[in-house]
A and B are shown apart, each in its own frame.
Chain A
Amino acid sequence: MKAFITKMNRVFKNKKLYNRWSSSVGIIIISLIILLLWQGLSSIYTPLVLPSPFLTAKSLLKILQSKCFFIELFSTLQRLLIGLIASILIGSIFGIMMGCSKKIKHLLEPLVYLVQATPPILYMTLAMLWFGLNGRATIFIVFIGSAPVMAVNIAEGFENIDVKLIEMGKAFQFSRTKMILEIIIPSLKAYFKTGLITVFSFGWKLVVMGEVLSASTGLGAQITDARMNLETNMVFAWGIIVILLCFLFQKITAKLFEFRLKRRKNYEG
């Protein structure tokens, strides 16, 4: 016992290890509590209202084993990526224009905020009217929901560029390109990254919502199918898939856009 305690002490001296350990303990405890509650409640209600964890797990396995899962996943990802790429491009262009000129900013800002303030469900209704019940409405809503987020983030990045560094560049007569490449773009990186991460998780939620309401393929459409067939267990199973994928997606984007400084070069020789 004593040996165990000293060992644990040593492990906990390593702060990173301790943090990881305690965060996974947290996850396990929370999951256990949820599972217990779920199990308890599902024994009170019928499976139509609340399927038991076991039933849900069975449905989940069934879905994962079926071939159509990957087809549905693919069509969802396709819509998501098209919408996101468009929103990142257009949003960044708007953001850059707003950042470069105060006049353009005053002109575009109300528009961007208007687009951002409108509830996604309103766009959804309109998109269904405009594009019909196919994937395009979903792409549209991902785009319109994400683009302003990107624009606002980039514009904010421009606001926060350190004037003192710009002055430094001027004092040492940096050329225009040098100024943009060495000072402006690196200053914007962090804001671009936050924009991307926000947009990726937001877009994921929008794509599912869009599909639930308007598509016949994709993960969201499967949820609608399950609801129509009164298969609550399937709704739960698909829901779990969507949540896990969103989580995974977020983790991957955060990792992908991690800008690290630690890349020490060797200047000797």
Chain B
Amino acid sequence: MRDKVLLKILNIEKNFEEVRVLHDFSMEANREEIVCIIGPSGCGKSTMLNIISGLTLPSCGEVINNSQNTSYVFQEDRLLPWKDVYENIRIVNDKSSHKTCMELIEKVGLKGFEGFFSCELSGGMRQRCSIARAFNYEADLLLMDEPFKSLDFNLRIGMIHYLLTLWESKKKTIIFVTHEIDEALLLGDRILFLTNRPTKVLTEFRIETPKMKRSLTDPSLVKVRNQILDLLQNENQPVDS
């Protein structure tokens, strides 16, 4: 009964007034898969995640979302300014226990900052709080929009490992938007490389190495990395990498 495909987007189109953002865009994600999306700034990645989560309606096309619940790490932190870190994390799940929340806080490295309000946190700390919030919400589909931006190298590696262990235990499906090729290489089962507006999937890379065993010096990853860099050079799009 359980469909292998969790999420299917068919020929969707999205226009904001005269700006055509998505045109005839299709993609799908299987259960337990991590799909990474790389694409130029402003090409419509966040718009697509909003469409998947149901916050935005496509102008036309079809979205089949078989997940029970969808969790979302927004591009901006979107924390409630009148709630502290702990309350912001706990609010999305009334059933979550005090212990789980404290564990999440510790895992994202915010221990000791439970009582801080978002205006008292740095950008990266806010970002981590919003990641912890998304993890606290019971969901089988997780949308992440550049979740590790404004984190330093060590934190970033730490978060990638944490995300992978989480994925190991809970086997969520994750759609992961990023500008960092390395993040995509370490996390993705597939990497979708998008063109600029009107946006389409230009190339799809499949990485077979098991996620827990990957290393950036791995020849297979280096090969994919070079291919992506070539594409970027041809596209001539500035991407921070």
* Residues of chain A whose beta carbon lies under 8 Å from any beta carbon of chain B: 164-165, 167-168, 170-173, 178, 182-183, 186, 189, 261, 264-267
Given contacts A168-B74, A172-B137, contact A264 B115 (CB under 8 A): yes
- The answer for the CA separation of A173 and B68 in the assembled complex, in Å, is 12
> By the criterion CB–CB under 8 Å, are B80 and A183 in contact?
yes
Q: Which residues of A contact B137 (CB under 8 A)?
A: 172
Given contacts A171-B53, A172-B137, A267-B102, contact A164 B76 (CB under 8 A): yes
- The answer for the CA separation of A265 and B114 in the assembled complex, in Å, is 8
Across the A-B interface, give the 10 residue pairs with the lowest CB-CB distance, nearest first. A264-B115, A172-B92, A267-B114, A168-B78, A186-B82, A171-B72, A265-B115, A167-B55, A164-B78, A261-B117
> By the criterion CB–CB under 8 Å, are B80 and A165 in contact?
yes
11 further contact pairs, Cβ within 8 A, besides A167-B55, A171-B55, A182-B83: A164-B76, A167-B74, A167-B78, A171-B70, A172-B71, A172-B91, A172-B133, A173-B69, A186-B80, A264-B84, A264-B116
A-B pairs with beta carbons under 8 A, tally: 51
Interface of A is mostly: helix
Closest chain A residue to B119, Cβ basis: A261
- The answer for the CA separation of A171 and B55 in the assembled complex, in Å, is 7
- The answer for the CA separation of A167 and B49 in the assembled complex, in Å, is 13
Given contacts A182-B80, A265-B86, contact A170 B55 (CB under 8 A): yes
Given contacts A267-B114, A267-B115, contact A261 B86 (CB under 8 A): no
> By the criterion CB–CB under 8 Å, are B91 and A182 in contact?
yes
Q: Which residues of B contact A170 (CB under 8 A)?
A: 54-55
Q: Which residues of B contact A171 (CB under 8 A)?
A: 53, 55, 70-72, 74
Instruction: With both chains docked as a complex, state the minimum distance between the C-beta of B77 and any C-beta of chain A, in angstroms.
Output: 9
- The answer for the CA separation of A214 and B116 in the assembled complex, in Å, is 54
